Amino acid sequence: METKVPRARRSKTAAALRELKKAPWSAWFGLIVLLGYTFVALFAPLIAPSKESEIVGDSYMEWSALYPFGTDQLGRDMLSRMIFAAQNSMGIALAATMFSFLTGGILGIMASILRGWFDQAVSRFIDALMAIPSLIFALMMLSILGSTAINLIIVIGVVDATRVFRLTRAVSMNVVSLDFVEAARLRGEKLPWVVFREIVPNILPPLITEFGLRYCFVFLTISSLSFLGLGLQPPTADWGLMVKENATLITYGDITPLLPAGAIALLTVAINFVVDWFLHKTSGLRDGQ
C-alpha cells in the first residue's frame, strides 16, 4: 500500500506537465511573466541598483547607461523604484485579496451551514453593499479612515469580500446538502472538522480560479486608487503613484510615465491569460459551451 502513494503523486505531476505542454502560447506567456514578476518582487532589494527613495541626481534626467529609465520628479532612480513598486503593489494587493477571501469565505461557509436568519441577514446586507459601485465605496471608506497601507488592505478587502461571499455561499450551499456532510455531522464530528475536512476541499477549485480573478481586480483597484493619490502614499514606490507623479512628462512626448502603467497592464494581462486557460481547462465555463 505504501508504495502506491508516491506513484499516484508522480502520475499527477506528470499529468500536470502534460497539460502544461498542451497549453496555448498565451498561457505560457502569462506563466512566464507571472514568475518573472514574483521573482522581482521577492528579491527587490537585491536587484535594485539604488534604494527605494534615495535621491541620486537631478529631477527628470534622461535615460542613460547609469539610470536606464532616467530619474523621477525628485531625482530618484526610476528603475529602482519600479522594482520596489513590484514588491509594494503586488504585496498589498495579495494581502487585500487574502483578507477578502478570509472574511468573505468564512462568512459564506457560515451562511451556508447555519442558514436561517444569519444567512438572510448577511446576504441582504451584502446585497445592499454590492449596490454601491466598488470604487465609489472604497473612496467613501478611505475618506473616513484616511489612506494608510493597513486601511487600504482592510477597505479593499471588505469591498471585495462581498463578491467572495456570494461565490463561496453559492458553491458551499451545493456541498453542504450532500450526504457525506450529513454523515460526518451524524457521526458527531465538530463543526470545524466538518468545515475543513469535508466542505473546504470540495469548494476549493472554483475558489482558486476566483482568487486569480479577484487578485487581478484588487491589483487594478489599488493601482487606480494610488493613481488618484488616494492609495499608497509617497515616498512609497507604487506603479499607480509613479504614473501620477511623472504624468507631466507625457505632454513632452516622453514615454517614461508609461513604464509603470505598462508594468501594471502586463501583469494583469498575464494573470488574465492564465486564468482564462485555467477556466477553459477546468470547467468549459467560458463562452457558455
Partner 1 sequence: MHPLARTILQRLGLGLMTLFIVSIVIFSMVSWLPGDFAKAILGQAATEETVAAFQKEIGLDKPPVQRYVEWVGNVVQGEFGSSFASRVGYKRTVAELIAPRLANTLFLASLTAAIAVPLALALGILAALYRNSLFDRIVNSVTLTTISMPEFFMAYLLMLFLSVKLSWLPGLASVDAETELLERITRCALPTLTLTLVIVAHMMRMTRAAIINLLACPYIEMARLKGMSKSRVILRHALPNAWAPIVNVVAFNLAYLVVGVVVVEAVFTYPGIGQLMVDAVTARDIPVVQACALIFAATYIMLNLTADIISIATNPRLLHPR
Beta bridge partners of 77: 71
Q: How far is the CB of 176 from partner 1 (least distance, A)?
A: 27
In angstroms, what CA-CA distances link 216 with 210, 268, 275?
10, 6, 10
Site for partner 1 in 94-113 (CB under 8 A): none
Cis peptide before 235 (omega within 30 of 0): yes
Q: Is the dihedral of CA 38, 239, 156, 33 positive or negative?
A: negative
* Stretch near partner 1 under the rule CB under 8 A, chosen from 72-80, 111-119, 162-170, 257-265: 257-265
Q: How far is the CB of 211 from partner 1 (least distance, A)?
A: 17
In angstroms, what CA-CA distances link 58 with 107, 227, 257?
52, 23, 17
Q: Does 142 bind partner 1 (CB under 8 A)?
A: yes
Task: Pick the binder of partner 1 from 87, 264, 277, 278 (CB under 8 A).
Answer: 264
Q: Does 228 bind partner 1 (CB under 8 A)?
A: yes
Helices 78-114, 116-130: crossing angle, 10 deg rounding: 150
Residue 130 grid coordinates = 454590492
Q: Does 229 bind partner 1 (CB under 8 A)?
A: yes
Q: Does 129 bind partner 1 (CB under 8 A)?
A: yes
Q: How far is the CB of 253 from partner 1 (least distance, A)?
A: 5
Query: By the 8 A CB rule, do 69 and 79 touch?
Result: yes
Task: Pick the binder of partner 1 from 15, 136, 178, 208 (CB under 8 A).
Answer: 136
Q: Which CB sits closer to partner 1, 116 or 288?
A: 288
| Cα–Cα dist 283/265, whole Å | 26
| Cα–Cα dist 77/246, whole Å | 12
Task: Pick the binder of partner 1 from 16, 250, 283, 284 (CB under 8 A).
Answer: 250
Q: Does 135 bind partner 1 (CB under 8 A)?
A: yes
The residues that touch partner 1, with contacts defined as CB under 8 A, are 26, 124-125, 127-129, 131-137, 139-140, 142-146, 216, 220, 223-224, 227-230, 240, 243, 247, 250-253, 255, 257-258, 261-262, 264-265, 268-269, 271-273, 276, 287-289
